[in-house]
Amino acid sequence: MIQAMNNQSVGVAERPQIQTAAGSADFAELFQDAAKANIQKMDRPTPLAASASGAADIASAAQASSEPASTVPAAQATLGEPDVQGWLNSYYAQTADPGGANISYQPATGAANDYPATSAYGPDAIYRQALDNQNGNSVAGLTAIDPALYTSQLPGIPSQQAQQEYDQNLAMENAQRLSTGQAIDTSAYWSDPGSLNFEGTTYTAQELGYAGPGQSSGPQPILISAGDEIGTTGTYGVSGYSGTVSGVQPGLFYTLQQLEQAGLPSGQPDTQFHPGSWTTTPSA
């Protein structure tokens, strides 16, 4: 489940990012490898930043070209609840550290709330913050530092407008990835984003990664960076896996299957990061 994702620009529209608990940079320094490993595993690759006017143009284009979100039939599921402990159990089982799931993920008394209801963040934010809180509580147990400085209230469900903004940005990012032949961001949507026409091609909600309300569409793809190249051979290592790949382009996202077709030995343990999903409730 755990793929450490490099934080690189890949030429896609910037999605709003929510800052984690205050002081996280200093915390990573204090906690060293353990904190850095978890923080890197949870970070989503940051897309290329757009100018203020460019971001507005992208938002306008998305609104103008996107078809209205389809109505969810009564037989389909609706958003349920996040199973934070269950996700942590699975996360740490994948890292061969099941005891890590027992660390408290609750915010310390007096911790701030980094997720106001008007902020655009996704359903998996609660899982990422749970990991950050575990790190904060762990370092507080080893030092005299106030854990409230390194934990945050767990995010709930943002406003309807914020949900739509997040979903729209994620759909636009994935449309841009698809247009360049890249693997999509598999993070969950709050609701059906509808179809999106990008540069003359219409992508369905399913192609854009919608798998149901609050449901991730699969493991996150793997970013191949220029730093993964072995010398100047044109072959690249893949973080978390043995073997190399060739014929790939650095700076792009690939599925594990694509990398296996590019030479990565198959049958290796899964080390990709799986975004958290929420439970669902059958519609009446």
pLDDT in tens, 177-203: 999 999 999 999 999 999 999 999 999
Q: What is the pLDDT of residue 284?
A: 60
Report the distance separating Cα 157 and Cα 159, nearest Å: 7
Q: What is the pLDDT of residue 152?
A: 97
Does residue 29 fall inside a structural domain? yes
Does residue 169 fall inside a structural domain? yes
Q: How far is CA 106 from CA 102, 143, 164, 197, in A?
A: 11, 18, 28, 41
Does residue 256 fall inside a structural domain? no
Q: What is the pLDDT of residue 282?
A: 82
Query: Six-digit token pair at 146?
Result: 């106030």
Does residue 277 fall inside a structural domain? no
Domain that holds residue 169: 24-69+80-217
Q: What is the pLDDT of residue 232?
A: 93
Does residue 272 fall inside a structural domain? no
Does residue 205 fall inside a structural domain? yes
Does residue 269 fall inside a structural domain? no
3-state SS, residue 26: helix
Sign of CA dihedral 132, 21, 279, 218: negative
Pairing status of strand 235-237 against strand 222-224: unpaired
Report the distance separating Cα 40 and Cα 259, nearest Å: 21
How many CB atoms neighbour CB 257 within 10 A?
A: 11
Report the distance separating Cα 112 and Cα 152, nearest Å: 5
Total of domains in the chain: 1
Query: 275: Cβ–Cβ under 8 A, 6 or more apart, which residues?
Result: 124, 127, 186, 187, 188, 216, 220
What is the mean pLDDT, run by run of 10 residues, along the chain of 284 residues? 36 36 36 35 36 37 38 62 96 90 96 94 97 95 92 96 98 98 98 97 98 96 97 95 97 97 95 94 74
3-state SS, residue 197: strand
Does residue 74 fall inside a structural domain? no
Query: 189: Cβ–Cβ under 8 A, 6 or more apart, which residues?
Result: 122, 123, 166, 167, 170, 171, 209, 210, 213, 214
79: Cα separation from own chain's centroid? 18
